[in-house]
Amino acid sequence: MVTESIRQVSVDVCQDHGMWLGPGKLELIKLRVFAKGSRKRAQRVEEAREEGRAEGRRF
Ligand SMILES: [Zn+2]
């Protein structure tokens, strides 16, 4: 069994049995994955707005 880190959450990984998550860890990983995704989406929207301004479009 080795301890690895996914999104700063430590998980135990066993070669024979797979990954073991302690209480609440799956939720923690999901929250961090979601938080990262929404930041990226917000950034993409902002970039599209900047491009729109540069090209004289408004939205
Ligand atoms: Zn095992």
In a domain, 48, yes or no: yes
Write out the two tokens for 20.
């073991």
Asked if 5 and 19 count as a contact pair (C-beta separation under 8 A), the reply is no
Exposure string for 9-46, b = 16+ CB within 10 A, e = fewer: bebeeeeeeeeeeeeebeebbeeeeeeeeeeeeeeeee
Average pLDDT over residues 17-39: 85
- Per-residue model confidence (pLDDT) at position 59: 59
Q: Which domain does 50 fall in, by range?
A: 2-54
- DSSP H/E element including 9: strand 9-14
Average pLDDT over residues 22-33: 88
In a domain, 32, yes or no: yes
| Domain count across the chain | 1
Gap from CA of 12 to ligand 1 centroid (Å): 9
In a domain, 59, yes or no: no
Q: Bigger pLDDT: 24 or 59? A: 24
Neighbours of ion ligand 1 (CB under 5 A): 14, 16-17
- DSSP H/E element including 58: none
